[in-house]
Amino acid sequence: MRDNRVKRLIGSGSPALGLSMTITDPFVAEVVGAAGFDFLLIDTEHGPVAIDQLQTMLIALRGSASTVLVRPVANDHVRIKQILDLGAEGIVVPEVSTRDECAAAIRAAKYPPEGIRGFGPRRASRLQRRRPSNRHRRHRRLRQRRRRRTSHCRCGWPC
């Protein structure tokens, strides 16, 4: 699994610097990906980014050392699953202000038994060449992150 610069920096108490992208051109994504940011946030909530354009952007950013995050249009479990299946390394879910909304976003991103995300052998599963172990490694890291965090988001869950 790729190094998640954002988790590493925040875990050490350092800030993570990034850029929000709404331009869907893969060349622009490659140039921005080579700029050395800690993270890049592809904003599908405020930008006209279709799912096929998102896939092209994620492919263009695969060679970048930046952690690639995606903001979905809404807290929608179908869209969150698609985004993660395409290879996004994390999501920033908009308009989460209640405990139930937070729990729904977490369930959409996790595999059973903690979540509802299905195993769809799309792009993300091929990136590591070992689908089951990649799935279990990601799930284990999500659980570890939840245990280590001590702060809570606005909804009161350890997000």
Catalytic sites, residue numbers: 46
Q: How far apart are CA 23 and CA 106, in angstroms?
A: 28
From CA 28, how far away is CA 34, in angstroms rounded?
10
Contact criterion met (CB below 8 Å) for 5 and 38: yes
Dihedral-angle region of residue 87 (phi above 0 means left; psi in -120 to 50 means alpha; beta otherwise): left
